[in-house]
Structure 1
Amino acid sequence: MRKLIMPLAISTAATLALAADIEVHGDVNMDYASYFDRDFDPTNAGNQDIDLALHAHLDENISLVVMGTTHSTFVDQNGELQESEVRHGLARSTAMGSDGRYNSFDFDGVQFRWDVSHQVTLIFGDMTYSAGAFNYYFWRDASRYAVITREESLRGFGAEVGNEKYGTGAFYLGASDDTDHTLSMFLTYAFPLLNHTDEHLIIKPSLDWVFGSDIGRPYTYVLGTEVDYSKSFEKFNYGIYAVWGLHPYKGKGTHSFLLEPSMNYAIFNLGATFFYAIVDKDYETEPQLMTEDQMLFAVEPSFNIHKKYTLGVSYEYHDPDKETHGDDFQFLGMNHYLYPTMNTEIVIWYGYNFTGKHNNDTPFGEARFSLGLSGKASF
């Protein structure tokens, strides 16, 4: 039945096209990588994450959005089928040539959107939200990694309000996808405290709250704030993105902090990520986190060799658990960024995983040297 979804979607699109203005939007992510062990024996992997949305404008105020997705999968060490990650590591990758790379498109939601005014849109249907996403390339997937709340979905009612001058916000309420007995509520608003041509400051608080006896996760609420500041001069530009997030775990609060400064001068760029989570030492660290590491530091200087090519050198330090010794590792690599056109990025990357001799519990497993290619496009 699942393989009938794409023909059905195409048929539906053709029918709607006769009566409505049709637009197709999407995000396409894919990668290939080879991971070499100490004997230089490669293990190849390939992944993709494709999201498509068909927008049918029924009139100037009413639109219908039908969403579909396909995602590569892999079988984990427990024998369970899991979605793989694009540009991550061997531990969460799909082997090249396996059935996990050739999956059907699945229905991923439908929305009725009503533009009541220029500042207010009412939404009925399926909504997905997240807050506190990373710019760090290995943790860009908001369904897995976030400082405030990872990607959640619900079916119900929503409203999106505001404009560029006074800020934008959203309110969603409905039945959660987590369990059959959960009601979810999400509230966020971005306040533009500074909104000049050369200077911007946005503060964005968010709250995610779930209700029910079986909510499918160890915390009932998540709250936090994002701060995004940028300043531009003629040749020098810089920005600071900072996030604080809080969620309870067994009666105690887990605080997460993210700082991502960046700067550009002429052809030189510098970006960094520092993340740290304060957890309750009486319990295991991993269940309290929304990331793989309790502490992460990453820095990447890069040079704009050409308007379509940038060369970067990256260094990363990962520590999954500050209370456990010997589980940390370092990664040193190079990234060749290619920009063929607008909203398109191709990265050729390679690097070496510096870790203890007996520490294979990293995203790269037993691999030391790895190389790959990833591509991303939005339309």
Structure 2
Amino acid sequence: MRLKLSSMLVSAVCIASFAAPEVKFSGYLDADAWLDFKGNFYTNNELDLGMSVDFTEKVSAHVYATVRAGLIPAGLGLPKDRWADFVFDGFDITYKSKVGTFSVGDLVYQYGKFNYYFYKRLSMITNESFTRGIKYENGNDVITQGLSVGIADVSDDVSGDIVGSTSLTFGENQSLGLHYGIRGNARLSFKTGTDFFAGAEYNGSFGENVSIKADVGYLNVKGAERKNVFSFLLEPSLSFGSFSTAFTGFFMLDPDSANDLSAPLLTGMADEMFFYVEPGYSFNDYLGIGLPLEIHAGKLKDKDDNNFWAVPTFYVYPTEGVQWWIWGQMVVPMVRGITKDNLSYALGSEIIVTF
């Protein structure tokens, strides 16, 4: 009897172990502190956490949460506000079948993300957008098509999203993503209540030394007179042994004056044009230096808000997934007749952890 009971317990434990879902966690942690040499101190942080639960090979669930205080990097967050509440971003359930993959719940889309360090959490085709609905994807190693429909996470209760995405892969090192969609008010006409976006993202590498990211975006903004905005992004990078160079060029064409830097269409974007180049050198796998040199144009029609930035940076990589940046900054207004009193300086530190 005792042997039989032991066998039953062992069998139950084995069955439970096989039946238990697999739980995985992922995260992105980014925190900084800096001073402006005028007696002001700032701290900013962002914490994105995700949990995936694989019930079977076909069924899984995903949960997301965010903590934000200030704006990373080098925002104006106050030290007393750095401990913020968690924000529940949502969850979804995904089912993989022979005819495609279905996701139901809280869906996120964001296209045209920057590699550029200062806008590394931003994008130039669409903002990070949330919708509660359903998504369908189907494809193969060459082409994948996706479509999502849902209720938009905005201040009103009458807006919805329809978003499509086509991904094309050309060999191992070339890919092209095509993205398009609308966010509209169900009570208004298309003209006065619906925004339309479209864009393309190219990523490619050529050998071990050259990689290129090139994006183009288009926004057609709702209103009594609809307005058009075009955005362009080019981000090549070169690496030769211990030496590297990164470049970003961004340009927004706004013929109808739709963009307002006080409340930009692309959230967080303080520039309608900027150029950045960073030559760098790696001493080893743990230490490196870089010298970002940048021109920021602000509002293109206002030449008096152009600035030159120099941001020498020391990089520390203690282990995989952990980065520590120590940086200084000098900002020079690009106007005539400036004096040393017009220059501004900053010194800061930023820690980034991914897992």
What TM-score does the superposition give when structure 1 sets the normalisation length?
A: 0.79
- Asked whether the equivalents of residues 65 and 111 of structure 1 are also in contact (C-alpha less than 8 Å), the reply is yes
Structure 2 residue identity aligned to 1:93: L
Q: Percent identity?
A: 24
Deviation at 1:19, TM superposition (A): 4.4
- Asked whether the equivalents of residues 279 and 288 of structure 1 are also in contact (C-alpha less than 8 Å), the reply is no
Question: Which deviates more, 21-30 or 255-264?
Answer: 21-30
Q: Residue 20 of structure 1 corresponds to which residue in structure 2?
A: 21
Q: Residue 243 of structure 2 corresponds to which residue in structure 1?
A: 268
Structure 2 residue identity aligned to 1:254: V
Distance 1:139 1:218 in 2: 29
Q: Residue 40 of structure 2 corresponds to which residue in structure 1?
A: 43
In structure 2, which of residues 282, 291, 294 is the aligned counterpart of residue 313 of structure 1?
291
Runs of 4 or more off by more than 6 Å in structure 1? Answer: none
Deviation at 1:285, TM superposition (A): 4.9
Alignment of structure 1 residues 279-298 onto 2, 5 Å:
279-280=254-255, 285-286=260-261, 289-290=265-266, 291-298=269-276
Distance 2:111 2:78 in 1: 31
- Asked whether the equivalents of residues 227 and 256 of structure 2 are also in contact (C-alpha less than 8 Å), the reply is no
Deviation at 1:238, TM superposition (A): 0.5
1:301 partner SS? strand
Distance 1:272 1:336 in 2: 18
Q: Residue 227 of structure 1 corresponds to which residue in structure 2?
A: 202
Gaps of 5+ in 1: 1-17, 73-83, 359-365
Q: Deviation digits for residues 250-287 of structure 1, max 9, x if unmatched? A: 42321111111111111110111111111126566536
Quote the RMSD (CA, aligned, Å).
Answer: 2.5
Structure 1 residue identity aligned to 2:168: F
Q: Residue 253 of structure 2 corresponds to which residue in structure 1?
A: 278
Alignment of structure 1 residues 1-379 onto 2, 5 Å:
19-36=20-37, 41-72=38-69, 84-88=70-74, 92-96=75-79, 98=80, 100-117=81-98, 120-142=100-122, 146-163=123-140, 165-178=141-154, 179-195=156-172, 200-212=173-185, 213=187, 220-233=195-208, 237-249=209-221, 250-280=225-255, 285-286=260-261, 289-290=265-266, 291-355=269-333, 368-379=344-355
Against the structure 1 CA distance between its residues 276 and 289, is the aligned structure 2 distance closer, same or farther, given a 3 Å change threshold? Answer: farther
Gaps of 5+ in 2: 1-18, 337-341
* Greater radius of gyration (CA): 2
Equivalences, count: 323
Q: Deviation digits for residues 198-247 of structure 1, max 9, x if unmatched? A: xx2211110121122469x98611101111121115xxx10111111111
What TM-score does the superposition give when structure 2 sets the normalisation length?
A: 0.84
Distance 1:150 1:67 in 2: 18
